[in-house]
Amino acid sequence: MKTQYCHFCGSHDHCCRDCPLEKRVAPKLKKIIGKKMERFVSDNLSCPSCGCRTLRLLDDIHLRLILFVTSTCLKKFELNQSV
């Protein structure tokens, strides 16, 4: 029989999927990782259309999307997340 082990908190009482600590901190961690990913994209990726290396983040809380726009061709790009 396989014993349960949580890689998130180190407990042997449950697996990672059922970790109460992970459930409490997951929303905060997702927000932090999301902000870091936005910064990484704007700093390291270029526009696939014009090759411009300056992608600027457009904040739109109503759309709940992460949009970037280039300073050269003004095309908008959306950053999608996979769940």
The answer on pLDDT for 16 being more than 80 is yes
Alpha-helix runs per DSSP H in 1-83 = 20-44
- Between 34 and 2, whose confidence is greater? 34
Would you list the domain boundaries of the chain?
A: 45-79
What's the whole-number mean pLDDT along residues 3-21?
Answer: 92
The answer on pLDDT for 4 being more than 70 is yes
What's the whole-number mean pLDDT along residues 14-20?
Answer: 92
26 CB-side CA count, 13 A? 11
Contact predicate 41/68, CB 8 Å: yes
The answer on pLDDT for 6 being more than 90 is yes
Q: What is the pLDDT of residues 42-74, one digit of tens each?
A: 888 888 888 888 888 776 555 556 677 777 888
